[in-house]
C-alpha cells in the first residue's frame, strides 16, 4: 500500500471523530449562552476557514491530530481569587458569555458533551450497520475440540453450544474470539449449553503469536476449539431500529469495559503493553481496514470514536475528565481549587500525556520495523 492509502483514510477518520467530539462541546456551550470564538480541526497555522453569523471562526489547521473549541474569554486556569479581576474586564453583556460564570452543572455538561458525542456517534454507526448491512446472529456450536488443548482438558465437548464468555452473552459466532482475547485474567470463563443445560468451565488459554487478517503480528489467546454455525447456516439479518440500537449499545459497552479492564491490568503490570498504539498505528490499521470497504471503515471509526470519548474521560488534567475532576472538587469544597494547585495538576497531566505519547510512538515505530 502507498502512503496516501494510509494517510487519506486516517485523516478522514480523525476529522470525523474530532469534529463530532468538539461539536458536542460547541452545541452545549451555545445552548447555555457561552460565546465560542474558534472551532478548530487541527492545531497550528490555519489553512482555511470562515466566520459564521455568531462570530465563531470555523477553521482547518495544519496539524490535523486533534482539535479544539475556544470559548469567549477562555482561560485554562481559573481560581475564585481571580474572579473579580476577570469580570471587571468585561461588560455585563460580555460577562454572560463567559464560560466561568456559568453554573457548575452547565460547565460540567459542556465539558462532558465532547465524550458523550463520541459515544452517540459510535452507537449510531453500529445501529446503522445493523439496520442496513445486517448483523450476524449465528449461534456458535463447537464442531471440534483439539486433543490435549485447554478446552479438552477442561471438559468441553464436540457439539456444545457456547452461551457466554466471561459473562458476555454470545449472540454471534464472530464474538467468540473477541470475547476470549478481550480477557485480561489468566482464565477464561466459558458457559456452554449441553442437552439444554448450562455447564460452566474456567479455562487457561494458550497465548500464541500469529498474523491477523490484516497481516499484523499479534498475540492471540486460544483454547483449542473449532467453531461452526448451528445447523451449518449463517444467520445474518437486518435489524429494526430498536434491536439495532440495543446491540449497538451492547457493543459500545463491551468495548468500553474491555478497554477499562485492559487499563487496570496494565497498571497492575499484567497487560501486554505492546498492544498500545498511537497515531501511526491507527493510521496503518485504518488504511488496511478501509481496503475492505465502507462498512469496515465505519466500524473502525466507531471503535476509534469510543476510544477518544473514553480516554477524554480519564481524570487527567488537560483532558475533559481532568476538568470534570476539578468541578467535583469545586462541588465538594464549595469553591474552585486555588490557581497554584490547578497549575500543579496541569503539569502532572502534561507529563503523563507526553509520557504516553512517547511510549505509544515508540511502539508504533517498532511495529513498522524502525526499531
Active site residues: 22
Task: Tell me how long the chain is.
Answer: 371
Q: What does the H/E/C string look like for 119-150?
A: HHHHHHHHHHHHHHCCEECCCEEEEEECCCCH
311, 309, 289: which is closest to 356 by C-alpha? 311
Instruction: Give me 118's grid cell.
Output: 463520541
Q: Which residues pair with 40 in a beta bridge?
A: 59, 68
Q: What's the CA gap between 348 and 230, in Å, rounded? A: 53
Burial class of residue 286 in the structure, from the number of CB atoms within 10 Å of its CB (0-12 exposed, 13-18 middle, 19+ buried): buried
- Cβ(151)–Cβ(251) below 8 Å: no
Q: What's the CA gap between 233 and 139, in Å, rounded? A: 9
DSSP symbol at 324: H
- Cβ(143)–Cβ(110) below 8 Å: no
Cβ count within 10 A of residue 254: 16
- Cβ(166)–Cβ(182) below 8 Å: yes
Instruction: Give me 340's grid cell.
Output: 497554584
Q: What's the CA gap between 123 and 132, in Å, rounded? A: 14
DSSP symbol at 101: G
Cβ count within 10 A of residue 362: 14
Q: Is 225 left (phi over 0), alpha (psi -120 to 50) or beta?
A: beta
DSSP symbol at 50: E
- Cβ(165)–Cβ(181) below 8 Å: no
Residue the block writes with cell 478522514: 12
Amino acid at each position: 500500500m502507498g502512503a496516501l492509502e494510509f494517510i487519506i483514510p486516517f485523516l478522514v477518520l480523525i476529522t470525523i471523530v474530532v469534529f463530532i467530539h468538539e461539536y458536542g462541546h460547541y452545541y452545549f456551550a451555545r445552548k447555555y449562552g457561552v460565546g465560542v470564538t474558534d472551532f478548530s480541526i487541527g492545531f497550528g497555522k490555519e489553512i482555511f476557514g470562515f466566520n459564521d453569523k455568531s462570530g465563531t471562526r470555523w477553521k482547518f489547521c495544519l496539524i490535523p491530530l486533534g482539535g479544539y473549541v475556544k470559548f469567549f474569554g477562555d482561560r485554562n486556569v481559573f481560581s475564585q481569587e481571580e474572579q473579580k479581576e476577570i469580570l471587571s474586564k468585561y461588560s455585563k453583556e460580555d460577562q454572560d458569555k463567559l464560560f466561568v460564570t456559568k453554573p457548575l452543572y452547565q460547565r460540567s455538561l459542556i465539558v462532558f458533551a465532547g465524550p458523550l458525542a463520541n459515544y452517540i456517534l459510535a452507537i449510531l454507526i453500529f445501529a446503522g450497520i445493523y439496520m442496513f448491512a445486517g448483523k450476524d446472529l449465528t449461534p456458535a456450536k463447537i464442531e471440534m475440540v483439539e486433543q490435549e488443548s485447554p478446552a479438552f482438558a477442561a471438559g468441553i465437548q464436540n457439539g456444545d453450544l457456547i452461551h457466554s464468555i466471561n459473562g458476555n452473552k454470545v449472540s454471534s459466532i464472530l464474538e467468540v474470539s473477541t470475547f476470549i482475547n478481550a480477557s485480561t485474567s489468566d482464565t477464561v470463563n466459558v458457559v456452554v449449553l449441553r442437552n439444554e443445560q448450562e455447564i460452566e468451565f474456567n479455562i487457561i488459554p494458550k497465548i500464541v503469536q500469529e498474523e491477523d487478517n490484516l497481516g499484523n503480528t499479534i498475540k492471540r489467546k486460544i483454547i483449542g476449539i473449532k467453531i461452526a454455525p448451528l445447523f451449518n447456516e449463517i444467520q445474518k439479518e437486518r435489524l429494526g431500529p430498536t434491536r439495532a440500537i440495543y446491540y449497538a449499545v451492547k457493543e459500545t459497552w463491551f468495548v468500553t469495559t474491555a478497554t477499562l479492564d485492559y487499563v487496570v491490568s496494565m497498571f497492575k503490570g499484567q497487560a501486554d503493553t505492546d498492544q498500545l498504539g498511537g497515531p501511526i498505528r491507527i493510521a496503518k490499521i485504518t488504511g488496511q481496514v478501509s481496503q475492505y470497504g465502507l462498512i469496515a471503515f465505519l466500524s473502525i471509526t466507531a471503535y476509534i470514536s469510543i476510544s477518544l470519548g473514553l480516554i477524554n474521560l480519564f481524570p487527567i488534567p488537560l483532558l475533559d475528565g481532568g476538568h470534570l475532576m476539578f468541578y467535583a472538587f469545586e462541588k465538594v469544597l464549595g469553591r474552585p481549587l486555588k490557581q497554584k494547585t490547578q497549575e500543579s495538576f496541569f503539569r502532572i497531566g502534561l507529563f503523563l500525556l507526553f509520557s504516553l505519547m512517547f511510549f505509544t510512538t515508540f511502539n508504533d515505530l517498532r511495529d513498522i520495523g524502525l526499531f
